[in-house]
A = this chain, B = another copy of it.
């Protein structure tokens, strides 16, 4: 998993039917975890500005609400204290 900060969201009206009702959050990894931003669905009610744990790949669909959806990244936890992570 990686830790990132929720920096925004993106709206898509025309989308795969399995994705209807989901919110797409834009997550920016903390610099030590490095790569580009990614779009993740939200499993835990994260808000803009919060630091979150993101599971990627098939993990995003295991034990989450997305087992039958084309989802490759999901927010699975909110970090209690992001200080020092950024």
Contact = CB atoms under 8 A, between A and B. Distances in A.
Number of contact residues on A: which range applies? 35 or more
Q: Main SS of chain A's interface residues?
A: mixed
Interface in A58-73: 58-64, 68-73
Interface of A: 1-3, 10-19, 24, 28-29, 32-40, 43-45, 53, 55-64, 68-74, 76-81, 85
Nearest to A7: B32
B55 A70 contact: yes
Q: How many copies does the complex hold?
A: 5
A76 B38 CA distance: 15
A16 to B, nearest CB: 4
Contacts of A15: 44, 53, 76-78
